[in-house]
Chain A
Amino acid sequence: MQTSALDSEHDVRRILAQFKDRPGPLLEVLHAVQGAFGFVPPEAIGPIAEGLNLSRAEVHGVLTFYHHFRSAPPGRHVLKLCRAESCQAMGADALAAHAEARLGVPLHGSTPDGRFSLEPVYCLGLCACSPALLLDGEPHGRVTPQRLDALLEEAAAGAGGAE
């Protein structure tokens, strides 16, 4: 995931060439850049703006409007906890408190060793098996604090993360 500034510029130009002639391409470009780097590097904003004939402010405005886009690299494993009503009805608040205590970081935070990022998400469409979460993109339902501990241990023991 670590890429030098030069490589990233090359990749951003490749992505721009792929999408720039499609209608309304900015979100697609940002998705592709985040797919390549795990986040949207600040140094990519200039080339994206130039390539799509937009101002840097417009690109920044779109990037920061959407919760999904990141401006800094995430931890190796990303835990997204659903915080919406259905999951709350099944103990999501307690599960979130457990996750924060276990990882030692608040929601939106990453562990100092860069292993885990903890993020809130508002509904995963898994409401009939609440509380639900995504760990490295994999869905898990009816998650108890014990099950969460086991999932985190498995992730930490495995090699690398999905993102």
Chain B
Amino acid sequence: MTTLYVPGDSGALALGAEAVCRAIRREASARRLDVKVVRNGSRGAYWLEPLVEVDGPRGRLAYGPVCAADVPGLFEAGWLEGGAHRLALGAIESLPWFSGQQRLTFQRVGITDPSSVADYLAHGGYAGLRRALSMDPAAIVEQITRSGLRGRGGAAFPTGIKWKTVLEQPTGQKYVTCNADEGDSGTFSDRMLMEGDPLSLIEGMTIAGIAVGATQGYIYLRAEYPHAWRTLTQAIAAAYGAGYLGSDVLGSGQRFELEVRLGAGAYICGEETSMLESLEGRRGEVRVRPPLPAVRGLFGRPTVVNNVITLGTVPLILERGAQFYADFGTGKSRGTLPLQLAGNIKRGGLIERAFGLTLRELLYDYGGGSASGRPIRAVQVGGPLGAYVPAAQFDLPVDYEALAASGAMLGHGGIVAFDDTVDMARMARYAMHFCAVESCGKCTPCRIGSTRGVELLDEILAGGGEERALERLQELCELMLQGSLCGLGGMTPFPVQSALKHFRGDFRARAQQ
């Protein structure tokens, strides 16, 4: 029997993987061939999806991008025995796009069967939890602190310090929550991990629970991710079945329960206090801090709030030790970051690398330049609240401090490329429009400011702007930046101001027309 891997990842499905899977089963059955199809996650090379791997006599060989119509020809070419075909790529790890990557958090994504605990164990899974169970809670927290892991959701707060605060709260009900409300355009690493290796997130949350003394975990998942919901709920059921979740985790006497709660299409619920409100069944309105969630979080109890990638990296740190992880990266940005290349790019996808490579390496060595073949004029780094970076700054290294120093921010590691047809005044308007659509309404600078911002930009776009409108826009940005309750209103000015700073011609041209 030959095993074939056809991704069940929603990005691969969006490119036709389901039809390919059906064609493979049909063709194999017609040829009376004994094949097993595993629905793995995606390797992250979306320009090669649907990417099918055949585990044959010469190891795992890749073919892609495969469409359903190619399938009979692939069988005809003898792909089960590694036969030559125009879509043959060889071993996936040998492609330059993969060979330079340092996959730590994504070590199993695209390789294993996401729903199988046995496969997870066979690829090093749950070694971290076993170690954690033999350690003192404070020692677990110490490992996380020493690894240098920082919150991968965008705020980059040191994870160990957050855990320590929760651990130090008086005993009683505590919670571990996972913020899986990945709403930034250009980001999909949370989705890929949850669809491709959900057990790593489940293991990471279990370790967090044991470290801080929490017995209940919640994954707050955005409603736009129905496939991730399916893989997560399957994997949670499998983990309960195998004794890795429940009232007696691995016979340790420690309890950790876990469930997934669905969001309902509100970007603001990616802000941690708004997420907690939503988990409690209320409008996702931001809370005033302090108190911090680590002190008074979900249902008023001490709560860990971490992003999917942060928690998914925890098992590896426990398994390999803090130093192993800290040896990757640069300065205060330790470890690796799963970067996501999107937008107008030839070879988009997920690239996990140690911090420190440049935007240019990402965009050209990995990305191969724009999809349209035109020059890349700007990239937006870090989602809809991230700054636009002009081509002149593509030699910036990707690390938290270097980007912050240049007025940009790394955020969740999403990079959206735009070619030279982009109208940056329109993108600035979109930033304000998005903020107006998604504002929770609690504070005035965000609720009213964003709408005034759209109006001002409409004035500028209509050509009646001149300098006065641009000045007022700057003032408005400053007010939102200083006066908003959370990052939505407080960071919407970043894309607007960066567009104004680097692409002022796009705003001025209209005033002169």
Chain A residues at the B interface, C-beta cutoff of 8 Å: 23-28, 30-31, 58, 61-62, 65-69, 84-90, 121-130, 132, 137-142
Contact = CB atoms under 8 A, between A and B. Distances in A.
A85 B344 contact: no
Contacts of B67: none
Contacts of B280: 23-24
A28 B261 contact: yes
B333 interface: no
B184 interface: yes
B226 A125 contact: no
Contact of B224 (A61, A62, A87, A123): A123
Given A66-B265, A89-B342, 17 more contacts: A27-B263, A28-B261, A65-B440, A66-B263, A69-B264, A85-B186, A85-B384, A86-B416, A90-B343, A124-B224, A125-B187, A125-B191, A127-B348, A128-B47, A128-B188, A129-B11, A129-B49
A141 B15 contact: yes
B447 to A, nearest CB: 13
A68 B223 contact: yes
B414 interface: yes
B417 interface: yes
Of B183, B185, B191, B418, the most chain A CB neighbours within 10 A belong to B185
Contacts of A122: 183, 185, 267, 384, 434, 437-438
B185 A30 contact: no
Contacts of B186: 84-86, 127
5 contacts: A24-B282, A89-B342, A122-B438, A127-B342, A139-B227
B48 to A, nearest CB: 11
Q: Is the interface of B mostly helix, strand, loop or mixed?
A: mixed
A125 B343 contact: no
B492 to A, nearest CB: 13
B342 A86 contact: yes
Interface in B212-266: 223-227, 261-266
Contacts of B357: none
Contact of B281 (A24, A85, A142): A24
A85 B225 contact: no
B195 to A, nearest CB: 9
B186 to A, nearest CB: 5
Contact of B279 (A24, A89, A141): A24
Pick the most buried of B10, B279, B284, B349: most chain A CB atoms within 10 A of its CB: B10
B35 interface: no
A128 B299 CA distance: 37
Interface of B: 10-11, 13-15, 46-47, 49, 182-188, 190-191, 223-227, 261-267, 278-284, 299, 340-345, 348-350, 371, 380, 384, 414, 416-419, 422, 427, 430, 434, 437-438, 440
Contacts of A124: 10, 224
Nearest to B283: A65
Given A122-B437, A127-B343, A141-B15, A84 B265 contact: no
A21 to B, nearest CB: 13
B288 to A, nearest CB: 18
A92 to B, nearest CB: 10
A26, A27, A67, most chain B CB atoms within 10 A: A27
Contacts of B414: 86, 127
Contact of B344 (A28, A30, A89, A140): A89
Most chain B CB inside 10 Å of its own CB: which residue of A58, A84, A121: A84
A73 B49 CA distance: 35
B10 A23 contact: no
B185 A27 contact: no
B12 to A, nearest CB: 9
**What 8 pairs across the A-B complex have the smallest Cβ distances?**
A84-B185, A128-B348, A66-B264, A68-B265, A127-B342, A26-B281, A141-B14, A89-B343
B347 to A, nearest CB: 9
Given A27-B261, A90-B371, A141-B14, A121 B224 contact: yes
Contacts of B14: 126, 129, 132, 139-142
Given A24-B279, A27-B278, A128-B11, A85 B185 contact: yes
A85 B266 contact: no
Contacts of B227: 139
B340 A127 contact: yes
Contacts of A88: 427, 430
B94 to A, nearest CB: 21
Contacts of A61: 283
Nearest to B42: A128
B416 A85 contact: yes
A66 B348 CA distance: 31
Given A86-B416, A89-B344, A126-B10, A26 B282 contact: yes
Contacts of B344: 89-90
A130 B414 CA distance: 14
A67 B266 contact: yes
A93 to B, nearest CB: 9
Nearest to A142: B15
Contacts of B187: 123, 125, 127
